[in-house]
Amino acid sequence: MDAPERGALMLVRFIAVALIGWTIVELVLYWAVCDRNHTAMQVLPFIVKSVPLLFGIVALIKAKALAEWISNILDD
């Protein structure tokens, strides 16, 4: 694996972990606000807020393929 592919792989992994971390923080804050206001957590906002988590997990699973794709695009 050459340097551009390693860089692209690091970029993909960083973005995936950032998406996962951001989603976890967002869900914890949503839970805290609902707990503070004594309201029930609703399903639809929870699902909408968890979409980046799914993207992050998929990006981590497909990191190698995404990195190769990015590297090929940048080579052209």
Domain boundaries, the chain: 3-68
Residue 53 has pLDDT above 80, yes or no: yes
The answer to whether 27 touches 52, Cβ cutoff 8 Å, is no
Other beta carbons less than 10 A from residue 9's beta carbon: 18
- Predicted structure pTM score: 0.86
Matching residue, tokens 């997990």: 57
User: Cα–Cα distances in Å, from 76 out to 6, 58, 64, 71?
Assistant: 17, 26, 19, 9
| pLDDT, mean of residues 39-65 | 94
User: Mean pLDDT score of the chain, rounded to an integer?
Assistant: 92
